[in-house]
Homo-oligomer: A and B are copies of this chain.
Amino acid sequence: MRTAFYISDGTAITSEVFGHALLSLFPVQFNHKTIPFVETEEHAYKVLEQISESFQDSGERPLVFYTIVNVEIRKIIARSVGINYNFLDQFVAPLEKVLGIPSKPEKHRTHSIHETTYDIRIEAVNYALANDDGANLKDYAEADIILVGVSRSGKTPTSLYLALQYGIKAANYPFTEEDMGDMLRLPPGLRRFKDKLFGLTIEAQRLHQIRSERRANSRYASLQQCRMELREVENLYRKEKIPFLNSTRYSIEEISAKILAETGLQRRKY
């Protein structure tokens, strides 16, 4: 199998995202190998050896995706026996022309603690954890968004993703059977913050499957119970005009991007 290397003097996240996006266009399996923090010439030479070995072992020239700020180290990696994609570089000169100023590369500017919004993201993670699962209604005034939905409809991972990636303070509140009685009504603690509510729903069959992995053969996991709860929350969303989306076919990345697009909430990661 051909190896794809992702190499950087930083985290290599940029190389990974670019390389994955490119390789995902091809119906082929690769062996993926990330080498971050290549910060010395000695380390760079070791990486060259790894690339050569991979070529010898597989008989296929490795693909090498790299972004390296240090010029000396970049020159070393550029000599590898692999097929080299220094994909940022060719965009730099044209962009210098457009902006009318020279580029000023600095190590660790992306994905580092020097991002101006780093502390905001960490604070948002702490907020999401403290306000997970309806834990803390009194802090909802601080929330950017409050995700609501039945147990296991995707609220918690989405809250964490919004916090980690975008610095958004997302609380989440689970509607439980106790909230339902005859008919689900919006709890008073939530009604005060109605403008911040965003609903998640999910197909009953999928919810049944997810809950069964947790508590097999329970009433909680039964298809009948899942159907009842979902009917109640969807009725509530419609009645109260709470925007909502069905998470069944979406990843947390997709759910998060859709929520931001629909609510107009601003990313805080720049």
Contact = CB atoms under 8 A, between A and B. Distances in A.
Interface of A: 2, 10-14, 17-18, 20-22, 24-28, 32, 34-37, 61, 63, 67, 83, 85, 87-88, 91-92, 95-96, 98-99, 101, 103-105, 108-113, 115, 118, 122, 125-126, 129, 132, 156-157, 160-161, 164, 249-254, 256-258, 260-261, 267, 270
A267 B16 CA distance: 11
A260 B104 CA distance: 29
Contacts of A110: 20-21, 24
Contacts of A254: 10-11, 108, 111-113
Nearest to A210: B122
Given A36-B257, A257-B37, A113 B249 contact: yes
B25 A92 contact: yes
A105 B20 CA distance: 13
Contacts of A32: 267, 270
Given A12-B257, A25-B95, A26-B99, 17 more contacts: A10-B254, A11-B254, A14-B18, A25-B88, A27-B104, A36-B258, A36-B261, A63-B95, A85-B91, A87-B87, A111-B254, A112-B251, A113-B250, A113-B254, A125-B156, A125-B157, A160-B164
Given A21-B14, A257-B36, A258-B37, A118 B251 contact: yes
Closest 5 CB pairs of A and B: A111-B253, A11-B257, A14-B21, A17-B17, A25-B103
